[in-house]
């Protein structure tokens, strides 16, 4: 990777800063990203879950997830982004092309905090990725390096274990679609069940997935996200169900 904010779509190094004005930013090491706004605890992948639910705007349904990530790599900045597409029009209002731009839902740290050429790094940060697996992706900066982390493989390399509510929401959304602000997240030893997001289990098939038992009991499947990234269907009590 050459300096100057060149984009790196591979699984590179990633971190976070956010210090007093004029102070040299101090990167946050892996598993130590903390939420300065909400005062949420930070717990590494080797520890337990973060004890806070990420905030969500019920009007826009935009989750503020980045401050709740416990990353597996040290970074200076991380952002949860999506790609927005639009039409380019000429002076007569005729469509002459399409454009893509980044939309940042949430972020943590200082972008390009220690870059040798910060303006160039910031400019590289604004460039949409040429290809993505879906519209959702993560982006980080470390020094002059801007790294795009696409779901699922590269993003999981950055997130490590999916073991905080914020990571669970991001992972479920990137794999199955928009997660409403009204969901309730409950954790057990097998992962996080996301109640109120039942319709997401069948999103790829255009239908609601249901749980069935031999005695004839039926229930809409509730998604549970396991630490390894698997998404399974569970009953309301959190037990895995047959489909």
| Nearest alpha carbon to residue 5 among 130, 116, 137, 139 | 116
- In a domain, residue 175? The reply is no
Average pLDDT over every residue of 139-166: 93
Three-class SS of residue 7?
A: strand
148 compared with 136, residue with greater pLDDT: 148
**31 pLDDT more than 60:** no
**28 pLDDT more than 80:** no
* Predicted confidence (pLDDT) per residue in 170-189, tens digit: 999 888 888 889 888 988 88
Per the rule left: phi > 0, alpha: psi between -120 and 50, beta: everything else, 156 is alpha
The helix (run of H) or strand (run of E) holding residue 168 is helix 165-176
Average pLDDT over every residue of 114-138: 86
Is residue 140 located within the same domain as residue 222?
no
Is residue 108 located within the same domain as residue 192?
no
Average pLDDT over every residue of 83-98: 82
Single pTM value for the model: 0.73
| Nearest alpha carbon to residue 170 among 100, 66, 31 | 66
- In a domain, residue 29? The reply is yes
What integer pLDDT is reported at residue 198 of this predicted model? Answer: 73
What integer pLDDT is reported at residue 128 of this predicted model? Answer: 85
Is residue 38 located within the same domain as residue 147?
yes
pLDDT category at 243 given cuts 50, 70, 90 is low
Is residue 140 located within the same domain as residue 227?
no
Task: Report the distance separating Cα 65 and Cα 78, nearest Å.
Answer: 10
Strands (E) across 70-150 are located at 75-89, 95-109, 136-142, 145-150
What integer pLDDT is reported at residue 104 of this predicted model? Answer: 94
Is residue 47 located within the same domain as residue 111?
yes
Is residue 53 located within the same domain as residue 151?
yes
Average pLDDT over every residue of 210-237: 79
Query: Taking the alpha carbons of 16, 19, 22, 26 in that order, is the dihedral positive or negative?
Result: negative
Is residue 132 located within the same domain as residue 78?
yes
What integer pLDDT is reported at residue 131 of this predicted model? Answer: 63
Average pLDDT along the chain: 75
Residue span of the structural domain in which 85 resides = 7-159
Is residue 153 located within the same domain as residue 191?
no
CA atoms within 13 A on the CB side of 140: 31
Pick the last residue of a domain from 127, 144, 159.
Answer: 159
Is residue 148 located within the same domain as residue 209?
no
- In a domain, residue 170? The reply is no
- In a domain, residue 168? The reply is no
- In a domain, residue 165? The reply is no
Task: Report the distance separating Cα 35 and Cα 107, nearest Å.
Answer: 10
Contact predicate 165/45, CB 8 Å: no
Is residue 97 located within the same domain as residue 143?
yes
- Range of lowest pLDDT (53-62, 64-73, 115-124, 192-201): 192-201
What integer pLDDT is reported at residue 85 of this predicted model? Answer: 78
* Predicted confidence (pLDDT) per residue in 63-90, tens digit: 999 999 999 999 999 999 988 877 888 8
- In a domain, residue 243? The reply is no
**Phi and psi of 170, rounded to 5°?**
-60, -45
Task: Report the distance separating Cα 66 and Cα 129, nearest Å.
Answer: 19
Task: Report the distance separating Cα 14 and Cα 53, nearest Å.
Answer: 24
Query: Taking the alpha carbons of 131, 135, 140, 146 in that order, is the dihedral positive or negative?
Result: positive
Strands 184-188 and 145-150: unpaired
Is residue 12 located within the same domain as residue 106?
yes
Q: How many structural domains is the chain composed of?
A: 2
DSSP secondary structure letters along 176-194? H----TT-EEEEETTEEEE
**13 pLDDT more than 50:** no
What integer pLDDT is reported at residue 163 of this predicted model? Answer: 92
Is residue 153 located within the same domain as residue 195?
no
- In a domain, residue 90? The reply is yes
- In a domain, residue 241? The reply is no
Average pLDDT over every residue of 206-215: 62
């Amino acid at each position: 990777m050459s300096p100057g904010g060149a984009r790196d779509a591979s699984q590179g190094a990633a971190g976070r800063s956010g210090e007093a004005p004029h102070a040299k930013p101090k990167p946050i090491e892996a598993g130590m990203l903390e939420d300065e706004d909400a005062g949420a605890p930070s717990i590494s992948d080797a520890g337990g879950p973060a004890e806070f639910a990420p905030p969500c705007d019920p009007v826009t349904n935009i989750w503020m997830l980045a401050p709740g990530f416990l990353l597996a790599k040290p970074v200076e900045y991380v952002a949860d982004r999506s790609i927005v597409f639009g039409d380019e029009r000429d002076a007569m209002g005729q469509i002459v092309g399409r454009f893509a731009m980044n939309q940042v839902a949430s972020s943590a740290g200082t972008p390009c905090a220690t870059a040798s050429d910060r303006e160039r790094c910031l400019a590289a940060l604004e460039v949409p990725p040429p290809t993505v697996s879906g519209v959702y992706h993560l982006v980080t900066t470390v020094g002059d390096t801007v790294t795009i982390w696409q779901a699922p493989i590269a993003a999981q390399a950055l997130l490590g274990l999916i073991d905080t509510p914020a990571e669970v929401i991001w992972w479920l959304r990137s794999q199955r679609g928009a997660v409403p602000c009204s969901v309730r997240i409950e954790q057990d030893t097998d992962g996080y069940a996301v109640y109120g997001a039942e319709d997401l289990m069948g999103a790829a098939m255009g239908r609601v997935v249901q749980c069935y038992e031999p005695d004839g009991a039926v229930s809409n499947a509730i998604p549970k996200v396991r630490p390894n990234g698997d998404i399974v269907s569970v009953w309301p009590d959190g037990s895995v169900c047959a489909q």
